[in-house]
Amino acid sequence: MEAHSSEVFVIGLTVFFLACIIGYYVVWSVTPALHSPLMGVTNAISSVIIVGAILAAGPQGFDTSKIFGLIGVVLASVNIFGGFLVTYRMLSMFKKKTNKKKENK
Amino acid sequence: MSSNMVAILYLISALLFIFALRGLSHPESSRTGNIFGIIGMIIAVFTTLMFKSVLSYYEIGAAILIGGAIGSFIALRIEMTALPQLVAAFHSLVGLAAVFVAAAAFYDPVAFNIGKVGSIKISSLVEMSIGTFIGAITFSGSVLAFGKLQGTISGKPIVFKFQHLINALIFLLIIFLIIFFVVNQSPTIFWTIVFVSILLGFLVVIPIGGADMPVVVSMLNSYSGWAACGIGFTLSNNLLIITGALVGASGAILSYIMSKGMNRSIINVVLGGFGGEQDTSASKDNSDKIVKQGNAEDAAYIMKNADSVIIVPGYGMAVAQAQHALREMGDILKKEGIEVRYAIHPVAGRMPGHMNVLLAEANVPYEEVLELDEINHDFPMTEVSFVIGANDVTNPAAKTDESSPIFGMPILDVEKSQSVLFVKRSMATGYSGVDNELFYRDNTTMLFGDAKKMCEDIVKSLSA
Nearest to residue B219, comparing CAs of B246, B243, B254?
A: B254
Sort out which chain A residues have CB atoms less than 8 A from B349's CB and list them: 36
> Which one is catalytic: B392, B413, B435, B457?
B392
Q: φ, ψ for residue B446 (rounded to 5)?
A: -90, 130
Q: How far apart are CA B448 and CA B454, in angstroms?
A: 8
Residues B59-84: what's their mean pLDDT? 95
B285 is catalytic: no
Sort out which chain B residues have CB atoms less than 8 A from A33's CB and list them: 27, 344, 353, 356, 366, 369, 371
pLDDT in tens, B311-326: 999 888 888 889 899 9
Q: How far apart are CA B452 and CA B169, in angstroms?
A: 49
Sort out which chain B residues have CB atoms less than 8 A from A41's CB and list them: 20-21, 24, 33-34, 37
Contact B90 A82 (CB under 8 A): yes
pTM reported for the whole predicted model: 0.90
Nearest to residue B236, comparing CAs of B6, B420, B410?
A: B6
Q: How far apart are CA B372 and CA B376, in angstroms?
A: 6
Q: How far apart are CA A46 and CA A84, in angstroms?
A: 11
Q: How far apart are CA B210 and CA B275, in angstroms?
A: 9
Contact A23 B243 (CB under 8 A): no
pLDDT at B185 over 60: yes
CA dihedral angle for residue B240, residue B73, residue B141, residue B371, rounded to 10 degrees: 80
Q: What pLDDT, on a 0 to 100 scale, did the predictor assign at position B288?
A: 62
More confident residue, B407 or B104: B104
ipTM: 0.91
Q: What pLDDT, on a 0 to 100 scale, did the predictor assign at position B272?
A: 64
Q: Give the other-Cβ count within 10 Å of B216's Cβ.
A: 28
From the list B40, B93, B107, the residue facing A65 with the nearest CB is B107
Contact A37 B361 (CB under 8 A): no
Q: How far apart are CA B119 and CA B121, in angstroms?
A: 6
Residues B299/B330, Cβ–Cβ less than 8 Å: no
Residues B429/B280, Cβ–Cβ less than 8 Å: yes
The residues, any chain, with a CB within 8 Å of residue B193's CB and separated by 6 or more, are B129, B132, B133, B136, B174, B177, B178, B181
pLDDT in tens, B90-107: 999 999 999 999 999 999
Sort out which chain B residues have CB atoms less than 8 A from A53's CB and list them: 97, 100-101, 104
Q: What pLDDT, on a 0 to 100 scale, did the predictor assign at position B375?
A: 92
Q: What pLDDT, on a 0 to 100 scale, did the predictor assign at position B287?
A: 57
pLDDT in tens, A28-50: 999 999 999 999 999 999 999 99
Q: Dihedral sign for Cα B231, B236, B240, B246, please.
A: positive
